């Protein structure tokens, strides 16, 4: 599997191809629905890990455009099966990062994500790793990849929530249905600073990483509740605040 480089020349190439793809994607999304983005002022300067809600096959396009409009090239960690054919060539040209699922090399993608962050770029990683299967479309418990990447790179995580795609592409749907007068809302949450690894251990422990991953999930759920105008389920509340590591 070919991984992207993040030298200055590579990044310039990613941005050239990305600008063309972003313009085309914006035309597509405008035909499907109206999109509003809030919370732009919450995104800090410098490299960040964006951790979005994942409930639709369309949301990478919507989230990617929202990140692009921040003046950032979004580098998604995406399943390796997408990196074939014309789409695969486009993803590679934009510096997207393949994830070899169920493989001993699956962790390599985090190392390339770390390289992107060290080069000052922004990485997008879905905490769940797949579409939510929750019947009420709340985020499911996250994997620890986004938390690990942020802790190891020492960069903040910006959770991202969105709502409004279901009328356009319902769960299980294959073909989008235009709803040009409906509204899709994307919201950047307050950034979450990663915990400082234990001095004695020299790295973050599994429990510390797990707590941070749960906090990311809870932040996404809280913002999603605001967008939906419904109460936040109680199961997310204990993880909203940072916990002291002992």
More confident residue, 17 or 241: 17
Instruction: Identify whether 241 is part of a domain.
Output: no
Tokens of 79: 């399943």
**Are the CB atoms for 150 and 144 separated by under 8 Å?**
no
* Degrees, nearest 5: CA angle 182-188-191: 170
Instruction: Say whether pLDDT at 198 is over 90.
Output: no
pTM, full prediction: 0.93
* pLDDT grade for 115, boundaries at 50, 70 and 90: very high
Instruction: Identify whether 209 is part of a domain.
Output: yes
β-bridge mates for residue 50, sequence order: 124, 158
**Are the CB atoms for 24 and 68 separated by under 8 Å?**
no
What pLDDT, in 10s, does the model give residues 139-153?
999 999 999 999 999
**Of 6-15, 94-103, 232-241, where does mean pLDDT reach its minimum?**
94-103
* Degrees, nearest 5: CA angle 99-189-163: 75
Location of structure tokens 């509340």: 237
* pLDDT grade for 205, boundaries at 50, 70 and 90: confident
Instruction: Identify whether 245 is part of a domain.
Output: no
Instruction: Identify whether 236 is part of a domain.
Output: no
Instruction: Say whether pLDDT at 246 is over 50.
Output: no
Question: Which residue, among 174, 177, 164, 173, has the nearest Cα to 137 in the 3D structure?
Answer: 164
Instruction: Identify whether 61 is part of a domain.
Output: yes
Q: By residue range, what is the domain housing residue 205?
A: 8-168+176-231
Full DSSP string of the chain: -PPPP-SHHHHHHHHHHHHHHHHHHHHHHHHH-EEEEE-GGGSPSS--EEEE----TTHHHHHHHHHHTTT--EEEEEEGGGSSHHHHHHHHHTT-EEE-TTSTTTTHHHHHHHHHHHTT-EEE--SSSS----TT-PPPPP-SHHHHHHHHHT--EEEEEEE--TTTS-TT--S----TTSEEEEEEPPPBPPPPPPTTTSS--HHHHHHHHHHHHHHHHHHHHHHHTSPPPGGGGGGSS-----
Share of the chain above pLDDT 70, in %: 92
- Domains in the chain, number: 1
The pLDDT of residue 3 is: 87
**Are the CB atoms for 160 and 188 separated by under 8 Å?**
yes
Kindly list the strands in the beta sheet with 122-124, ordered across the sheet, starting from the edge strand earlier in the chain.
Answer: 34-38, 183-188, 157-163, 49-52, 122-124, 74-79, 97-99
The pLDDT of residue 212 is: 96
The predicted model gives 69-79 an average pLDDT of 95
Instruction: Say whether pLDDT at 54 is over 80.
Output: yes
Q: Provide the CATH number for the domain around residue 24.
A: 3.40.1130
The pLDDT of residue 241 is: 81
Share of the chain above pLDDT 90, in %: 80
Cα torsion 151, 130, 73, 167: sign: negative
Average pLDDT taken over every residue of the chain: 91
What pLDDT, in 10s, does the model give residues 167-186?
999 887 888 999 888 999 99
The pLDDT of residue 204 is: 65
Instruction: Identify whether 214 is part of a domain.
Output: yes
């Amino acid at each position: 599997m070919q991984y992207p480089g993040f030298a200055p020349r590579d990044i310039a190439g990613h941005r050239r191809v990305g600008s063309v793809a972003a313009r085309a994607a914006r035309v597509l999304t405008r035909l499907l629905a109206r999109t509003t983005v809030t919370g732009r002022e919450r995104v800090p300067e410098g490299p960040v890990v964006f951790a979005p809600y994942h409930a639709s096959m369309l949301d990478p396009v919507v989230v990617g455009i929202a990140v692009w409009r921040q003046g950032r090239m979004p580098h998604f960690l995406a399943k390796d099966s997408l990196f074939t054919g014309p789409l695969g060539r486009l993803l590679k040209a934009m510096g997207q990062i393949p994830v070899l699922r169920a493989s001993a090399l699956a962790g390599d993608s985090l190392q390339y994500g770390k390289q992107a962050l060290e080069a000052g770029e922004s990485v997008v990683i879905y905490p769940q790793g797949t579409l939510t299967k929750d019947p009420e479309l709340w985020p499911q418990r996250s994997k620890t990849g986004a938390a690990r990447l942020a802790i190891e790179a020492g960069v903040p995580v910006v959770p991202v929530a969105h709502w409004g795609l279901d009328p356009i592409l319902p769960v299980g749907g294959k073909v989008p249905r235009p709803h040009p007068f409906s509204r899709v809302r994307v919201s950047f949450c307050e950034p979450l600073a990663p915990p400082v690894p234990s001095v004695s251990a020299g790295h973050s422990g599994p429990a510390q990483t797990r707590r941070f991953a749960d906090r990311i999930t809870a932040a996404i759920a809280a913002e999603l509740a605001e967008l939906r105008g419904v109460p936040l389920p109680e199961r997310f509340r204990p993880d909203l605040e940072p916990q002291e590591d002992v």
